[in-house]
Amino acid sequence: MSFFDFSSTKTRYYHHGRMRVEGGILPDAITAYRTYGDLKNPCVVFPTCYGGGLDHQGYLIGPDKTFDPEKYFIVTFGLFSGGESSSPSNTPAPYNGPYFPNVSYQDNTRAQYAVLKHLGVQKVHVAIGFSMGGQQAYFWAVMYPDFVEHYVCNCGSARTSDHNKCFIEGPKSALLASKDFDNGHYSSPPQHGLRAFARVYCGWAYGQTWFREKLYLMDGKYPDLSTFMRGEWEASHLSWDANDLVTLFHTWQTGDISQVRDDGDLAKCLGSITARGLIMPSKTDLYFPPEDSEYEVSCMPNTAKLVVIPSVWGHFAGAGSNKKDFQFVRDEVTKFLKESEAQALAQAQAQT
């Protein structure tokens, strides 16, 4: 599976100036983004996930992928606290490190909307994302109902469940309690905390079948489970800023579209969504299990479609981690958009 060549585009930075966010004020909030394709084409909004940067978004972009830049205008966004947009690691004092304010999905979506208006986008054809990006797709549909036509939540949810919050407390607590985290005032990367964080996280990332079938050996790349955890998980998380990880977890942990409106009534909020939605959980996801998605779609019988990814790859089934799941997601999203567009055309013709 080839990935899109990102050499044709560069990361750009939109300066919002003074911006109020959930936890206070950012004196110069910055949103990092990239664009692909021509503005005249239907717009696709594609925010990043937890631990994912703009370079990771290539699994959906390209001539043989879900969104061809020749047919769509694709805008990828870095989430606040993800290390590219405003984050604890790149914000000047006195808002740096542990002093960085909490940021919500609502804050991210408002900021990204400002970027789209700056670019001249008149309508979002589809807001799509994986994991945290999938949760944000829901926020797009709720916050800007007249601006968004479709949304795709890939291995995410409309509200972070209590079970999901419990998972988050595991790796977060391992990091916060480490001897070198120093309440966020570390002067060098807190390796003890980051390694513990990665190992706790790893156990939840894949389905039980994935581990039972020893897919962590990666076709001979790793000789055993311990080497896999060190080489694949510790290695990847040691490059992250610890305060970024903690504050980004807050965004994930507090995600709930019913807090945008409807005073916490999730069913009512879901039922009010007018954009057409495709909800795609993984059969073996331990963060966002399909049962949560089944409930959400039951609240949207006329506007949303449920498609479960039949995968043993757990949460990562939706992230282009293997060829079979990548093709399944690509084909289902393509089919959903074609069906929705045909339905909209038929309705328009019936009204004329």
**Full 3-state SS string of 83-107:** CCCCCCCCCCCCCCHHHCCCCCHHH
Token digits of residue 50: 């937890």
Q: Helix, strand, or coil here: 274?
A: coil
**Which residues of the chain are modeled with pLDDT < 70?**
1-8
Residue 343: its pLDDT value, please? 80
Does residue 230 lie in a domain region? yes
- In terms of Cα–Cα distance, which of 173, 73, 174 is closest to 124? 73
Q: Are residues 240 and 284 in the same domain?
A: no
Segments forming the whole domain that contains residue 193: 165-249
Write down the pLDDT at residue 9: 80
Instruction: Give Cβ neighbours of residue 101 (< 8 Å, ≥ 6 apart).
Output: 21, 22, 23, 24, 25, 26, 95
Distances (CA, A) of 167 to 188, 195, 314: 27, 17, 14
Domain of 209: which CATH number? 1.10.1740
Residues 104, 69 contacting (CB under 8 angstroms) = no
Torsion (CA) 256, 258, 263, 268 in degrees, nearest 10: -150
Residue 234 lies in a domain: yes
208 C-beta neighbours (distance < 10 Å), count? 11
How do strand 12-21 and strand 24-36 relate by DSSP bridges? antiparallel
pLDDT reported for residue 34: 97
Smallest CA-to-CA distance from 132 within 315, 300, 333, 325 is with: 315
* Same domain? 152 vs 261: yes
One domain for residues 140 and 267: yes
Among 230, 249, 268, the domain boundary falls at 249
Tell me what pLDDT residue 6 has. Answer: 56
User: ∠ CA 118-119-120 to the nearest 5 degrees?
Assistant: 90
Amino acid at 119: L
Q: Any idea which residues carry the catalytic annotation?
A: 131, 285, 315
Looking at the fold, whether 218 and 113 belong to one and the same domain comes out as no
The amino acid present at 71, given as its one-letter code, is: K
For tokens 């990771």, name the residue.
Answer: 56
Q: Which structure tokens are listed for 33?
A: 């983004």
What pLDDT sits at residue 50? 95
The confidence score (pLDDT) of residue 212 equals 94
Determine which helix (DSSP H) or strand (DSSP E) holds 187, and give its type and residue range. none
Query: Which DSSP symbol is given to 54?
Result: G
- Whether residues 141 and 182 share a domain: the answer is no
Burial class of residue 189 (count of CB atoms within 10 Å of its CB; 0-12, 13-18, 19+) = middle
Structure tokens at 179: 């001897």
Q: Which residues, 6 or more positions from 222, have their beta carbon under 8 angstroms from its beta carbon?
A: 216, 228, 231, 232
Q: In this predicted structure, what is the pLDDT of residue 4?
A: 52
Number of domains in the chain: 2
Domain boundary among the residues 202, 218, 249 is at: 249
What is the pTM (predicted TM-score) of this model? Answer: 0.94
- Given 192, 222, 249, which residue is the final one in a domain? 249
Indicate which CATH number applies to the domain containing 148. 3.40.50.1820
Reported as a single tens digit per residue, the pLDDT across 114-131 is 999 999 999 999 999 999
Could you tell me which of 8, 4, 14, 115 has the C-alpha nearest to residue 56? Answer: 4
Q: What pLDDT score does 350 carry?
A: 78
Assigned domain for 112 exists: yes
